[in-house]
Amino acid sequence: MFEVIEWFVFIIGLILITIGAICDLAGALGLVRFPNFFVRLHAATVGTIGGAVIPLFGIALVSAVSSQLGPFRWTVAGGAVIAAFLIMIIAPAGSHALAYAAHKAKVVPVEPKVCDLLEEHEKRKAKGAEKK
């Protein structure tokens, strides 16, 4: 019974690692092929959340049932889970900071644009400062 559960967890971990590899390749292709920075952010998020968080959870599952690591398998599983949670918090925060900085410093043109509320807000604020 216990061996069946271990085998099941092992297969689920391998499936998660495979999904991560496919997402990673898709994210890298998008990062090369997409036309400008704000569109590339989308592909980068596929590459970080799909390509780094999911395979780290898979590594944690696989290492928790691999007996050749001995008692150190919990070291590997714990480290992988901690790294996965850190990346899950860090990657969106970092890409939001980069997008805000690129918009504010006007490094790249905001190019498929329907309406830009942040730019309008800053213009309104500058006008208000001039009136005072």
| 65 touches other proteins (CB under 8 A) | no
3-state helix, strand, coil in the chain (%, to 5): 85, 0, 15
75 in contact with other proteins (CB under 8 A): yes
Q: Which of 5, 22, 121, 124 binds other proteins (CB under 8 A)?
A: 22
Verify binding: residue 97, other proteins, rule CB under 8 A.
Answer: yes
Q: How far is the CB of 1 from other proteins (least distance, A)?
A: 21
Contact 27, 43 (CB under 8 A): yes
User: 46-74 burial by CB neighbour count: b if 16+ within 10 A, else e?
Assistant: bbbbbbbbbbbbbbbbbbbbeeeeeeebe
Neighbours of 102 (CB within 10 A): 16
- CA–CA separation, 76 and 61 (whole Å): 10
- Candidate list 6, 73, 110, 119; residue touching other proteins; CB under 8 A: 73
Which of residues 109 and 120 has its CB atom nearest to other proteins in the complex? 109
For the window 30-49, what string marks contact with other proteins as x by the rule CB under 8 A? -xx----x--xx--x--xx-
Q: Which of 105, 114, 115, 126 binds other proteins (CB under 8 A)?
A: 105
Q: Read off the tokens for 112.
A: 């498929």
Binding residues for other proteins (CB under 8 A) = 10, 14, 17-18, 20-22, 24-25, 27-29, 31-32, 37, 40-41, 44, 47-48, 51-52, 55-56, 59, 62-63, 66, 68-69, 72-73, 75-76, 79-80, 82-83, 86-87, 90-91, 93-95, 97-98, 100-102, 104-105, 107-108
